[in-house]
Structure 1
Amino acid sequence: MSTAPRSSLGRVLDDLGLTLLEVAHGTTDAARDIGGVVIHDPVDDPLFPQHAIVLGVGVADSEQLAALLRELAGRDVAAVVVRSPVDVTEEVREAAGDVVVLGLARGATWTQLAALLRSLLAEDDFGEISVETLGGLPSGDLFAVANAIAALLDAPVTIEDRSTRVLAFSGRQDEADPSRAETILGRQVPERYARVLTELGVFRDLYRDDRPVVVDPVTLGEGVTTQRVAIGVRAGDEVLGSIWAAMDGPLTAERTATLRDAAKLVALHLLRVRAGADVQRRLRAELVSTALEGGAGAREALARLGLAGQSVGVLAAAPTAAPDGSQRADQQLLADRERFTDALAAHLSAVQPGAAVALVGDTAFAILPAAGPDAEVRLVGVAENFLERVGARMPGVIAVGPPAEDIAGIAQSRAVALRVLRVLRDGPGSRAARMTEVQTASLLLELRDLVLARGDAPDGALARLIDYDRRNDGHLVDTLRAWLDHFGDVGAAAAATYVHHNTFRYRLRRVREVGGLDLSDAETRFAAMLQLRMLGG
Structure 2
Amino acid sequence: MTQRPRASLGRVLDDLGATLLELVAGDPDRPIGGVAIYDPLDDPLLPQHALVLGVGLRDPEEITQVLRDLSRQQAAGLVLRSPVTVEEDVVEESGVAVLALTRGATWDQLGILLRSVLDVGVAESETLGGMPAGDLFALANATAALLDAPVTIEDRSSRVLAFSGRQDEADTARVETVLGRQVPERYSRLLSERGVFRELYRSDQPVYVAPMPASGPEVAIPRVAVAVRAGDEVLGSIWVAVHEPLTEERSEALLDAAKVVALHMLRIRADADVERRLRADLVSTALDGGTGAREALDRLGLADHTLVVLALAVPAAAERQRLADAFAMHLGAVQQRSAAALVGDVTYGLMPVDNEERAARIAQDFLDRVGDRFGATIGVATAVRLPQARASADRALRVLRSGRRTQRVARLADVQVEALLLELRDLVEARGEQPTGPIARLVAYDREHNSTLVETLRAWLDAFGDVTAAAAAVYVHPNTFRYRLRRLAEIGSLDLGDPDARFAAMLQLRVLAADTVSGGSLDEPC
Using the size of structure 1 for normalisation, the TM-score is 0.68
Residue 183 of structure 2 is matched in structure 1 by: 189
Q: CA deviation at 1:273?
A: 1.5
Distance 2:222 2:482 in 1: 76
Correspondence for 2:396 among 413, 420, 442: 420
Residues 197 and 220 of structure 1 are in contact (CA less than 8 Å); yes or no, is this contact kept in structure 2? no
Whether contact under 8 Å (2:429, 2:513) holds in the other structure is no
Match of 2:36 in 1: none
Match of residue 304, structure 1, among 281, 299, 307: 299
Residue 383 of structure 1 is matched in structure 2 by: 363
Cross-structure match for 1:103: none
Q: Residues 495 and 261 (structure 1 numbering): CA distance in 2 closer, same or farther, change over 3 Å?
A: farther
- The 1-side partners of 2:202 and 2:271 are apart by 28
Q: Give the 3 Å change call, closer, same or farther, for CA 282–502 of structure 1 in structure 2.
A: same
Question: CA 1:383–1:263 in 2, change beyond 3 Å: closer, same or farther?
Answer: same
- Determine the structure 2 residue equivalent to 1:350: 333
Q: Structure 1: how far apart are the matches of 2:214 and 2:334?
A: 37
Partner of 1:458: 435
Q: Give the counterpart letter for 1:138 in structure 2.
A: P
Contact map agreement 1:387 1:395 (CA 8 A) in 2: no
What is the 5 A alignment of 1:202-217?
Answer: 202-217=196-211
CA 1:305/1:154 → structure 2, altered by over 3 Å: closer, same or farther? same
Q: Which amino acid aligns with 1:388?
A: D
Matches within 5 A, 1:234-273: 234-273=229-268
Are the structure 2 counterparts of residues 221 and 162 from structure 1 closer, same or farther at C-alpha, using a change threshold of 3 Å? farther
Distance 1:277 1:380 in 2: 28
Gaps of 5+ in 2: 1-121, 515-526
Does structure 2 conserve the Cα–Cα contact (< 8 Å) formed by 1:193 and 1:220?
A: no
- SS of corresponding position for 1:217: coil
1:360 has 2:343 as partner: yes
Answering whether residue 173 of structure 2 is matched by residue 179 of structure 1, we say yes
| Residues 228, 259 of structure 2: 8 Å contact kept | yes
Which residue pairs with 1:397 in the alignment? 377
Alpha carbons of 1:471 and 1:250: their partners in 2 closer, same or farther (altered >3 Å)?
A: same
Q: 1:426 to 1:527 in 2, by over 3 A?
A: same
**Residue deviations 1:130-175 (CA, integer Å, cap 9, x gap):** 4332211122222222222122122222211112222222223333
* Counterpart for residue 165 of structure 1: 159
Alignment of 1:280-319 (within 5 A): 280-319=275-314
1:521 aligned partner, one-letter code: D
Q: Distance in 1 between matches of 2:220 and 2:415?
A: 58
Match of residue 492, structure 1, among 466, 469, 480: 469
Distance 1:392 1:257, change over 3 A: farther
Distance 1:534 1:160, change over 3 A: same
Query: How many angstroms does 1:524 deviate by?
Result: 1.9
Deviation at 1:500, TM superposition (A): 4.3
Structure 1: unaligned runs, 5 residues or longer: 1-127, 323-332
What number of residue pairs does the alignment pair up?
391
Are the structure 2 counterparts of residues 503 and 200 from structure 1 closer, same or farther at C-alpha, using a change threshold of 3 Å?
farther
Q: Give the direction of change, closer, same or farther, for the CA distance of 1:472–1:170 in structure 2 (3 Å limit).
A: farther
In structure 2, C-alpha distance between the alignment counterparts of 1:454 and 1:348, rounded to whole Å: 42
Partner of 2:129: 135
Match of 1:468 in 2: 445
1:483 aligns with 2:466: no
The aligned amino acid for 2:165 is G
Distance 1:460 1:169, change over 3 A: same
How many angstroms does 1:453 deviate by? 2.7
Which residue identity is paired with 2:428? V
1:110 corresponds in structure 2 to: none
Q: What is aligned with 2:500?
A: 523
Q: Is 1:232 aligned to residue 217 of structure 2?
A: no
SS state at 2:336 partner: coil
For 2:158 and 2:364, the matched residues in 1 are separated by: 29
**Contact 1:231–1:244 under 8 Å retained in 2:** yes
Structure 2 contact 453–488 (Cα < 8 Å) conserved: yes
Letter in 2 for 1:485: D
The 1:431/1:450 distance shift into structure 2, 3 A limit, reads: same
Counterpart residue number, 2:20? none
Identity %: 63
- Code of the residue aligned with 1:383 in structure 2: it is A
CA offsets, 1:489-517, max 9 Å, x none? 33333333344444434433332222122
Alpha-carbon distance in structure 1 between the residues aligned to 2:377 and 2:219: 42
For the 8 Å contact 2:187–2:212, the answer to whether it is kept is no
**1:534 corresponds to:** 511
Aligned residue type for 2:485: L
Structure 2 distance, partners of 1:166, 1:187, is 5
* Shift, 1:448, TM fit: 1.6
Aligned partners of 2:131 and 2:323: how far apart in 1? Answer: 32
